[in-house]
Amino acid sequence: MRFARLAGLSGIGFVLLLLGGNLLLLSAGFPDSSASAAPGEIASAVADASAALRLTSTLLPAAWLLATIFAAGVFAALRRHDRIPGDGWAVVGLAGILMQCVAFAAVGASRLAVAAAAAHDPGAVAGLWGLHNAIFGFNQVFLATALLGLSVSGRRAGLVRRWHAAVGLSGAALLFLSATTSPYGVDGGNPFSLAGLLGWLLWLVWIVAYSLRLIRDVDRPTVDTDPTAAPATTSGTP
C-alpha cells in the first residue's frame, strides 16, 4: 500500500476515533470544558463517567499515531506538488498537528488526574479542572496552526480545492478566537466556546476531505487549481 493511501486511511480513522470517543464521554455525562458548574458538581459528574473516561483514554495513543501518519502523508504530498520552492506553510501545518498531539496528551492526562481526585481528594478537583480547561483551550491554537498551514500550502500546490481551503481557514479563525479567549473560561462559561466547537467540527470535515484526496490519487492535481500560484519551473534544454 502506498504511504499516501495509508495516510488517507489514517486520517479517516483518526476522525472516527475522535467522534466515537467524544460521543462516549457525552453519553456518560462527562462535563464539557465550557460548562459553568460548582466543583462538587464537576467532581460528581467526573466520578460517574470515570469508566467511560478510562475507556476513551485507551484510544488516545492510537489516535495520535494515526494523526501523525496523516500529517506526514499530507506533508509528503505537498512537497511533491510544491510549485513555490522554499514555501514554509507545509512545515507550519505539520508542526501544528504534531504540537496538537503533544498538547492533547496533556489534556488527556489532566482528565485522568481530575477523575483520580474526584475519587480520592474532591478538594483538588477545582484546581485540576481549571488546569484541564486551560490546556484544552490553548490546545486549539495548534489545530488552528495546522489548518492554516496545510490549507494555504495545499492551495498553492494545487492539491486542495477552494472550498476545502475555505473550510480550513474558517476553522482556523474560529479555533484561534476560542484559544485567545480561553483564559476567561478556565472556570467555565467562555462566551466563545461555541466558536471553538464549530471550528473543531470544520477541522474534522477538513481532515476527511484531505484524506479522501490522498486516497483517490495524490499524483493527479485537482482541476480547480490556484490561478495565482507560481508556475512550475523546468530545467534543461528544449
What average pLDDT does the segment 195-215 reach? 95
Backbone angles phi, psi at 2, to 5 degrees: -65, 145
pTM of the model: 0.85
Sole residue written with cell 501523525: 68
Cβ contact 156:77 at 8 Å: no
Tens digit of each residue's pLDDT (9 = 90 or more) over 16-52? 999 999 999 999 988 887 666 677 888 888 888 889 9
pLDDT at 212: 95
What average pLDDT does the segment 141-164 reach? 94
If phi > 0 it is left, if psi is from -120 to 50 it is alpha, else beta; for residue 86 that is: left
Cβ contact 33:137 at 8 Å: yes
How far is Cα 188 from Cα 130, in angstroms, rounded to an integer?
Answer: 8
pLDDT at 79: 85
Helix segments in 58-192, DSSP class H: 60-81, 89-120, 125-157, 162-181
pLDDT at 194: 85
How far is Cα 69 from Cα 16, in angstroms, rounded to an integer?
Answer: 15
pLDDT at 16: 97
- Nearest of 139, 62, 70, 58 to residue 106 by alpha carbon: 139
